[in-house]
Structure 1
Amino acid sequence: MKLKLDLDDLANDFFEDTRLAGIVAPLKSYQFCWHLNHLLHFDFRINNDIEIQLQKKNRNYYFSVFEYRQPVGSLVHYLYNNQYDGEYLLPEFRHLDFLWLMKGDTVADAFFQQIIGSVKTLNGVQLVMELTNEKIKNKGHLIF
């Protein structure tokens, strides 16, 4: 008997109750996190344990992930680098520099819009947009 891992089910479970924003901000990830931490009083830190590794063209590509757990509740924020050495974590969104995933608790529209509005005020940020699950072709790339 063979057990088959259903990646669609896995992706659906992973993305249940999540909100995802795409951000265009040509900044280094550590600079961007510093600005976010300063503006929002968050504490984004790199989490090397959940770094995403993709193999393309016989090479490994590493996409760093920064993490911030809200002190109250179970909401966790993940900030992914969408680009590494000319490759993209989500190739369908080549123009985006960062992907911000909110996961672990229901994210109210008002809170999500407040975050997006705040991020738009940062120097260097050119665009912030919500990404809906239907628009994402390579969802599996975001699963750690």
Structure 2
Amino acid sequence: MKLRLNIEELNDDFFEDTRLLGIIAPLKNYQFCWQLNSLLGFDFRLNNDYEIPLRRKDRTYHFSIYQSQEANSFLSHYLYHNHCDGEYLLPEFKHMDFLWLMKGDLVDDDKCNWIRQAIKSIAGVQLVAELTNEQIKTKGNMVF
């Protein structure tokens, strides 16, 4: 008997009850995280356990993930850098510099909108847009 892993199902499970924001902000990872932490009260830190290696054109590209855990909650915030040496984690969103995934607990519209507005207030941020699961063609690239 052969067992077959259903990747599509795994991806759907990973993204169940998540919210995803796309951010255009031509800033360095650490500069953006510093601003999120100091101005908005998050605690984003690089999580080396979740780095995503993608193999393209005979080369491996490493996409870093920063994580901030909310106190007294299961909610985690993950900030992905969408670019690495001319390659993209989500090629369908090449114009997005960062992807902000909220996962682990329900995020209602009010909270999501507050986060969007707060990010927009940071110098250098040009756009913050919520992305739907249907818009993401290569969502498996974000699964860690």
TM bracket (short chain)? over 0.9
Let me know the Cα RMSD of the aligned residues.
0.5
Helix, strand or coil for the counterpart of 2:100?
strand
Match of 1:79 in 2: 79
Q: How does 1:1-144 map to 2 (within 5 A)?
A: 1-144=1-144
Q: In the aligned structure 2, how far is the partner of 1:44 from the partner of 1:38?
A: 10
Partner amino acid, structure 2, of 1:100: W
Structure 1 segments of 4+ aligned residues over 3 angstroms from their partners: none
Q: Please, which runs of 5 or more residues in structure 2 have no aligned partner?
A: none
Q: Which runs of 5+ in 1 are unaligned?
A: none
Aligned residue type for 2:49: D
1:4 CA displacement: 1.0
SS in structure 2 at match of 1:61: strand
In the comparison of the two structures, how many residue pairs are matched? Answer: 144
The structural deviation recorded for 1:32 is: 0.2
Which digits, 9 at most, give the CA deviation of each residue in 1:55-92, with x for residues without a partner?
A: 00110000000000101110000000000000000000
Per-residue CA distance 1:112-137 (angstroms, 9 max, x = gap): 00000010011000000000000000
